[in-house]
Amino acid sequence: MKLAVLMSDYRNGIDMIDRLSADSLGIVFVGNGVYHAATKEGGKASSLLDKKANFYALTEDFETRGITSAGLDSRVKAVTYGDLVDVIFNDYEKVIWL
């Protein structure tokens, strides 16, 4: 199964990601979840970025929070709402929201 996870929280949900089983996993950072894409804790990236997955961050959400695309971790692809629709419909079979 190809699974996309919309991650809207910065503090919760990481343990849930560990419990998911998918052939292909995409994690889309939305809302406050975009802090996973840019925030460095003690010089280290979010531990969520160590997971085997494709990572996306919603442009509108990280820009609203004062983060630029240059501030994103290199493993994260910036996507607009239109891009996100394409990614979900073309690359994933199921979508969940955490």
Domains of the chain: 2-97 (3.40.1260.10)
**CA gap 8, 30 in Å, rounded:** 5
Q: What is the pLDDT of residues 67-85, one digit of tens each?
A: 999 889 999 999 999 999 9
Shortest CA distance to 22 belongs to which of 4, 46, 9?
4
Q: What is the pLDDT of residues 13-61, one digit of tens each?
A: 777 888 888 889 999 999 999 999 986 767 678 888 988 999 999 999 9
Q: Which residue has the higher pLDDT, 63 or 16?
A: 63
> 71 — phi, psi (to 5°)?
-85, 0
